[in-house]
Structure 1
Amino acid sequence: MSSRRTRARIWSTRGGTPTRRGTPCAGGLAAAGTRVEDVRGVIVTHAHTDHYGLAGRIREASGAWIALHELDVPLLAAAECDPAGRLAGLLERVGAPPRLADRLVSRARTRRRPEDLPHPDRILQDRERLAVPGFDLRVLWTPGHSPGHICLWEDRRRLLLSGDHVLPEFAVGLHEPAPGREDPLGGYLSSLDRLAGLDPAEVLPAHEHRFTGLDARLAALRAHHRRRLAQVAGALRIGAVHGWDIAAAVTWHRPFEELRGFALRAALQDTLACLGLLDARGLVRRETGPPERWYPRA
């Protein structure tokens, strides 16, 4: 937000890159008529590095505060410590073939870790109203893609800043189930229901393009997840017990055996999220591992 203009603006740190002079987002902000030095606050929808990654540099350049939902704060430290080890844990959990898992983890160890991700200055709460000059912004907690993902609702202009929660074409991945947050898909579907009826004039997502017709898009996302749940349940009925084999029976954007890197991790996490919802509904039982084993309930 800029104090140099009477009409405040909202900026995103997603996808920013340094200029030759080392100032992030300078080109985009200049095109909008302001500067990085004028930014007074950075409201981040979730703690993934493609969204949060430049927040610290903007704070250094301008003194801006950074705001994030409380449930995503632990992700900042997790992103910096041993990403290869976290991948190894996921692959072991789902029963990935050992030789393939070793190769994937070895590649992950060669990748550069994210720069230090600063702790936010402000912790956001659900339904909180944000004091942004010229805007009437309200925080909507919408977990699923991450535990503390938020959308921002601007009531006067009927605008929804949907982050990664609702995109116009792509269905985003879900976070890996963990103690205390075992059912990310259930949380995601409930969050979709929460947005129903807002009837925004326009939705501004963090990827792809702005769009209208939110309720139709919500219905399409629910249908997408119903199909995926059915495929996961079908894999269990024909005898798959490990997350890896269950994921292999699901239809992804390309054949499962061709998935690598982020795409593979997302597919495995989505499979675990489906199993978590089936477990919450009492339709499956889980044997702890590693690897975990899953069975349909009679």
Structure 2
Amino acid sequence: MDNIQKDIPFGSPVQVGQGVFLLKMPLPFRLDHINLYLIDDQDGWILVDTGLNHRAVRETWEALADSIFQQKPIKKILITHLHPDHIGQAAWLQRRFKADAYISEGDWLMAQRLWFSPAESAIPRYAAHYRAFGVDGERFEQLIENRGNYQRLVKELPLQVKFLRTGDIVSAASGDWRVVSGSGHSPEHLCLWNEASREMITGDHVLPKITPNIGIIVGGLSNPLENYLLSLEDFLAIDCTRYFPAHGLPSENYHERIAEIKMHHHRQLQKLLGGCGEPTTVYEAVGMLFNTELPPHQYMFALGETAAHLRYLESIGLMHRDGEKTWSFKSVSQADQQREETACASSV
């Protein structure tokens, strides 16, 4: 188990822990894979995440359903969060295996709004969202068009779900897994912690090589970076020695990786503080953190993440935000901070 292949083939479960198997599925993006996990439960499997609504993924699942899962089926489907690569095949798998589906209530409610809002009501909301960020011209048109393309990556949701929350226990033949939820990447992202083996299935909440996207999206969290940084403190307190991420290989650098992720966001915040000496829109600030020549799908994430960092700085008093229809951010100088502190002190 310690010598996990770096080139794990798609659609072939590989054991990575005690009673835990990694099932790699393709993604048609620059990030070309997602790791699903199977937890052994004697006469069946508990599946963690499902893959994208995509032809190659469905074909892989159909082949697996007719082979290794024919005699030992999937009994439970646990969805870590609402994003397409995690929830996209959940409805089909639920029908195919007559399995119970589990998700957090926060992510379930947001999934309804995000994936199945009628175009006539959704497009004006997305337009206002991108206008608030100061986006215009060709990039604005690309983002509006991309919204429809992204929505098709889910297509349908399970008909029935059961809710999980922090502290709930998911029992399996291989041991008990306690639900630990984190916020920021999604409203209520579910992770599974096995105290006996000191292993955790982290989904997208903690990733070994890349950082989870923490962005402001339509109808989403108002200050997702604050949520995420706070939840990382809770995760630091867990005595995990090995974690199983949704992207990249299982790793043993759990606490070191969380510290690296926190430092990454600190550096991003410092870049914005140094770059927003004059009023700056989110659209104008993207280039301080990311390559502005990204394709629409990736640019959408970069824009949302830039907004999240600016919003966080505003919430802790290091940025001023003006404007209602279009936001404009400006770093608070030391002189401004001193004036605000003096004004607060004199008003007490």
| Band of TM-score, shorter chain | 0.7 to 0.9
Q: Is the 8 A contact 1:2 1:38 kept in 2?
A: no
Aligned ranges for residues 32-181 of structure 1 at < 5 Å? Answer: 33-35=68-70, 38-77=73-112, 78-81=114-117, 82=119, 87-106=126-145, 108-109=147-148, 113=152, 114-118=154-158, 120-176=160-216, 181=221
**Structure 2 CA distance for aligned equivalents of residues 241 and 36 of structure 1:** 59
Q: Is the 8 A contact 2:40 2:174 kept in 1?
A: no
**Structure 2 CA distance for aligned equivalents of residues 153 and 76 of structure 1:** 24
Q: How many angstroms does 1:112 deviate by?
A: 6.7
**Structure 1 CA distance for aligned equivalents of residues 270 and 71 of structure 2:** 48
**Structure 1 CA distance for aligned equivalents of residues 66 and 142 of structure 2:** 44
Q: How many angstroms does 1:151 deviate by?
A: 1.2
Cα 1:180–1:145, aligned 2, differ >3 Å: closer, same or farther? closer
Q: Which amino acid aligns with 1:80?
A: F
2:284 to 245, 248, 259: 245
Q: Secondary structure at the match of 2:284?
A: helix
1:261 to 292, 296, 301: 296
* Cα shift readout 1:201-250 (whole Å, capped 9, x = no counterpart): 3210111211111011111101100010111112212x142111111222
Cα 1:230–1:35, aligned 2, differ >3 Å: closer, same or farther? farther
Q: How many angstroms does 1:93 deviate by?
A: 1.5
Cα 1:293–1:84, aligned 2, differ >3 Å: closer, same or farther? same
**Residue 183 of structure 1 corresponds to which residue in structure 2?**
223
Which segment is superposed worse, 35-44 or 11-20? 11-20
**Structure 2 CA distance for aligned equivalents of residues 188 and 172 of structure 1:** 10
Q: Secondary structure at the match of 1:203?
A: strand
**Structure 2 CA distance for aligned equivalents of residues 52 and 207 of structure 1:** 15
Structure 2: segments with no counterpart, 5+ residues: 1-37, 337-348
Which segment is superposed worse, 71-80 or 57-66? 71-80
Higher strand share: 2
**Structure 2 CA distance for aligned equivalents of residues 280 and 155 of structure 1:** 35
2:310 is equivalent to residue 275 of structure 1: yes
Q: Which amino acid aligns with 1:139?
A: V
Cα 1:271–1:48, aligned 2, differ >3 Å: closer, same or farther? same
Aligned ranges for residues 211-226 of structure 1 at < 5 Å? Answer: 211-226=251-266
Q: Normalized against structure 2, the TM-score is what? A: 0.74
Sequence identity percentage: 23
**Structure 2 CA distance for aligned equivalents of residues 243 and 158 of structure 1:** 41
Q: Secondary structure at the match of 1:285?
A: strand
* Cα shift readout 1:108-128 (whole Å, capped 9, x = no counterpart): 556772312235521111222
Structure 1: segments with no counterpart, 5+ residues: none
> How many residue pairs are counted as aligned between the two chains?
291
**Structure 2 CA distance for aligned equivalents of residues 259 and 136 of structure 1:** 42
- Largest Rg, 1 or 2: 2
Q: How many angstroms does 1:275 deviate by?
A: 1.5
**Structure 1 CA distance for aligned equivalents of residues 195 and 185 of structure 2:** 24
Q: Is the 8 A contact 1:203 1:212 kept in 2?
A: yes
2:228 is equivalent to residue 228 of structure 1: no
Q: How many angstroms does 1:273 deviate by?
A: 0.9
Q: Secondary structure at the match of 2:187?
A: coil
**Structure 2 CA distance for aligned equivalents of residues 249 and 142 of structure 1:** 28
**Structure 2 CA distance for aligned equivalents of residues 289 and 165 of structure 1:** 32
Q: Is the 8 A contact 1:46 1:72 kept in 2?
A: yes
* Cα shift readout 1:65-107 (whole Å, capped 9, x = no counterpart): 1111111112222123347555433321210133431244245
**Structure 2 CA distance for aligned equivalents of residues 4 and 243 of structure 1:** 48
Q: How many angstroms does 1:44 deviate by?
A: 0.7
Cα 1:225–1:36, aligned 2, differ >3 Å: closer, same or farther? farther
